[in-house]
Amino acid sequence: DTLGAALSGGHDSRAILLRIREREGLRCVTWGQRSALQSEGTDASIARSVAQHLRLPFRYLETDAGRVSFDTVLARFLIAGD
Look at residue 75 in the predicted model and tell me its pLDDT. 87
**What are φ and ψ of residue 32, in 5° steps?**
160, -170
Compare 53 and 1 and report the one with higher pLDDT: 53
CA distance 31 to 27: 14
CA atoms within 13 A on the CB side of 11: 0
Edge to edge, the sheet with strand 3-6 lists 3-6, 26-32, 58-62
Average of pLDDT values for 43-71? 86
This prediction's pTM: 0.68
pLDDT at 67 over 80: no
Provide the H-helix boundaries in the chain.
Answer: 11-20, 34-38, 43-53, 70-81
The tens digit of pLDDT for each residue in 12-49 reads: 888 888 888 888 888 888 888 888 888 888 989 999 99
Are the C-beta atoms of 5 and 47 separated by less than 8 Å? no
